[in-house]
Amino acid sequence: MSLSGRSTLLAYVGFPVGVVLVGALIGSTSVPGAWYLALDKPWFTPPGWVFGPVWTVLYLLIGWVGARKWIHGGDRALWVLQLLLNFAWSPVFFGLQRPRAALVLIVVLLSSIALFIIRQWRRDPLSARLLLPYLAWVSLATALNLAIVMLNPALRG
């Protein structure tokens, strides 16, 4: 295998594994806890066991797209931005217990994912399509975050 072939393989393994590991670390340190369980939640809240498997698959897709951007170029900064926003949401929502601040964050995250997909649609259609499930899930998460804020008016920040 050539050096560039090894670098490509390393990127396609390293990016997804790295994203999943960081996501798992953040998830394990920003657990919902009693505070979250006590909140009023909308009828469309998925069961808790769904989140781990869904995020694992999404993080693999996000990592794969990150490898493509590393190897082929194109909107690397926007890819990094959405990842940083993604990683920041759980600590803000669960760790700091600031659902209103988390709502602002997730709206910016959702916008950055949509912008990335739009900008990549013609340049790198595979990357754009790979992030469509992510866009759908973060859309649901945004609706959940908004509903929690609306159903729990006494919440701070």
pLDDT of residue 2: 47
The structure tokens listed for 11 are: 């990127």
User: For each of the chain's 157 residues, which pLDDT tens digit applies?
Assistant: 444 777 888 889 999 999 999 999 998 888 888 999 999 999 999 999 999 999 999 999 999 999 999 998 888 999 999 999 999 999 999 999 999 999 999 999 999 999 999 999 999 999 999 999 999 999 999 999 999 999 999 876 5
> Rounded distance, CA 152 to CA 54, Å?
26
Query: What's phi and psi for 3, nearest 5 deg?
Result: -60, -45
Answer whether residue 87 is part of any domain. Answer: yes
3 state DSSP class of 1: coil
pLDDT of residue 57: 97
Range(s) of the domain holding residue 98: 3-151
Answer whether residue 105 is part of any domain. Answer: yes
Structural domain total, the chain: 1
> Rounded distance, CA 70 to CA 38, Å?
42
Q: Is 12 exposed, middle or buried (0-12, 13-18, 19+ CB in 10 A)?
A: middle
> Rounded distance, CA 8 to CA 86, Å?
25
- Give the torsion sign (CA, 85, 139, 31, 57): negative
Answer whether residue 157 is part of any domain. Answer: no
Answer whether residue 37 is part of any domain. Answer: yes
Answer whether residue 91 is part of any domain. Answer: yes
The CATH number for 21's domain is: 1.20.1260
Q: Kindly report the pTM of this predicted structure.
A: 0.92
Answer whether residue 20 is part of any domain. Answer: yes
